[in-house]
Amino acid sequence: MIRHTEELVLVTGATGLVGRPLVDLLLAQGVRVRAVSRRPEEAGLPDKVDVVAPGAGMFEGVGRVFLNPRAVGLEAAEFLAEARRAGAARVVAMSALNVDHPLEQQPSRQRGDFNKESEQAAVASGLDWCALRSGYYAVNTVSQWGAQIRAGDVVRSPFPEAAWAPLHERDLAEVAARALLGDELLGRRPVLTGPRALTQQEMIEAIGTAAGRPLRYQAVPAEAAEQGLVRQGFSEGAARGFIAMQGLSYLQPGLVSPEVEEILGRPGLGFEQWAAEHAADFDRAIPAHAVRDPRGPKR
Ligand SMILES: NC(=O)c1ccc[n+]([C@@H]2O[C@H](COP(=O)([O-])OP(=O)(O)OC[C@H]3O[C@@H](n4cnc5c(N)ncnc54)[C@H](OP(=O)(O)O)[C@@H]3O)[C@@H](O)[C@H]2O)c1
């Protein structure tokens, strides 16, 4: 039997929000990692990592695969079939809490995240599989509110009482590493959230505490918030879907799942800690063009 640390793990989306901490965790456990990036020369991953562009050769010698739906689009089934032909035995797929909701209530589909199809492809792949059904990432607050907070102390957003439990990306990466290396999560779809639901107002207060200045929440109509996101680069469909999703959590507070704590054997990391670690992303002294992109180096 091959020890897991001797198997090569292929990480798609390796330069992403979860991919980077996952690569670090795997390396720390002595695992050999091949990372996929469309721009390997700009990936900025540790030297030990074999960074490759997407292509047929990437599967050679791979035993386990981390599947990021954003990185594979609608090709997850072919991707996994090819991985299996090359000898892979396991896939851990990122998925989402809302994967069984009506497709029009899944705004991430507008940007090409086919979480449902990816999860189905993993289950049907013939590989050992695990699908990580995660909720809202804490780091989304940077793309959602970062520009406003860097520019001033007022955050305009609808639904101040809408609440959900932001998931620290490091917790998600740690669960992914467990699913890749251990056997206890095989055949499961764990639901992953942060440890506590916070209203938007509470999240903004926590960011203000971390940033060292009080922030003020100003409720605005949903249409104004949508337009603000479009000005920041969201597509109209994604902005509408994202705000509509927040509207739904206004009526029904976000789920708090116990599974991160059950899997990791410790409570999930709280949003206050996340905000303290990311205070620099909201620093008004930093000009917008110089802000470190939490998704990695600038493209
Ligand atoms: N954000 C959330 O709250 C949340 C919650 C639940 C589920 N999810 C799901 O998690 C998945 C990952 O989302 P994320 O925000 O974490 O992604 P991400 O980390 O920003 O993106 C992952 C990586 O995929 C690659 N990539 C991006 N766009 C691509 C494209 N069009 N074609 C090929 N590769 C592309 C990029 O790597 P290179 O540029 O190096 O190629 C990027 O670093 C998505 O399916 C999302 O729906 C997200």
HSE-CB at 163 with a 13 A cutoff on CA atoms is 13
Residues 153 and 129 in one domain: no
Q: Mean per-residue pLDDT for 258-262?
A: 98
Residues 15 and 121 in one domain: yes
Enclosing domain of residue 25 = 4-134
Overall number of domains in the chain: 2
Distance 272 CA to ligand 1 centre (A): 24
Cα(94)–Cα(292) distance, rounded to whole angstroms?
A: 24
Q: Is 195 in the pocket of ligand 1 (CB under 6 A)?
A: no
Q: Is 79 in the pocket of ligand 1 (CB under 6 A)?
A: no
Residues 12 and 97 in one domain: yes
**Lowest model confidence (mean pLDDT) among 89-93, 148-152, 244-248:** 244-248
Say if residues 296 and 15 touch (Cβ distance below 8 Å): yes
Residues 13 and 118 in one domain: yes
Residues 151 and 97 in one domain: no
Q: Is 70 in the pocket of ligand 1 (CB under 6 A)?
A: yes
Percent of the chain surpassing pLDDT 90:
75
The two structure tokens encoding residue 82: 């090819």
Distance 69 CA to ligand 1 centre (A): 7
Cα(25)–Cα(35) distance, rounded to whole angstroms?
A: 13
pLDDT digits (tens, 9 = 90+) for 13-30: 999 999 999 999 999 999
CATH of the domain at 218: 3.40.50.720
pLDDT digits (tens, 9 = 90+) for 74-111: 999 999 999 999 999 999 999 999 999 888 777 788 78
- Candidate from 15, 20, 37, 70 with most ligand 1 atoms within 8 A of CB, to mutate: 70
Instruction: Decide if 152 is inside a domain.
Output: yes
Instruction: Decide if 299 is inside a domain.
Output: no
Distance 279 CA to ligand 1 centre (A): 23
- Residue 293 pLDDT level (bands cut at 50, 70, 90): very low
Instruction: Decide if 297 is inside a domain.
Output: no
Distance 214 CA to ligand 1 centre (A): 32
Percent of the chain surpassing pLDDT 70:
93
Instruction: Decide if 39 is inside a domain.
Output: yes
Q: Is 18 in the pocket of ligand 1 (CB under 6 A)?
A: yes
Distance 2 CA to ligand 1 centre (A): 31
Q: Select from 252, 248, 160, 152 the least CA-distant residue to 204.
A: 160
Comparison of pLDDT for 68 and 251, the residue scoring more: 68
Other CB atoms within 10 A of residue 48 CB: 10
Residues 108 and 145 in one domain: no
Q: Which residue is associated with the tokens 């669960």?
A: 175
Q: Is 112 in the pocket of ligand 1 (CB under 6 A)?
A: yes
pLDDT of residue 294: 44
Q: Mean per-residue pLDDT for 44-50?
A: 97
Residues 120 and 153 in one domain: no
pLDDT digits (tens, 9 = 90+) for 231-242: 888 888 888 888
pLDDT digits (tens, 9 = 90+) for 169-217: 999 999 999 999 999 999 999 999 999 999 999 999 999 999 999 999 9
Residues whose CB falls within 8 Å of the CB of residue 221, separated by 6 or more in sequence, listed in order? 158
Instruction: Decide if 170 is inside a domain.
Output: no
Which H or E run includes 130? strand 128-134
Cα(202)–Cα(233) distance, rounded to whole angstroms?
A: 25
Q: Is 140 in the pocket of ligand 1 (CB under 6 A)?
A: yes
pLDDT of residue 42: 97
Instruction: Decide if 204 is inside a domain.
Output: yes
Distance 108 CA to ligand 1 centre (A): 10
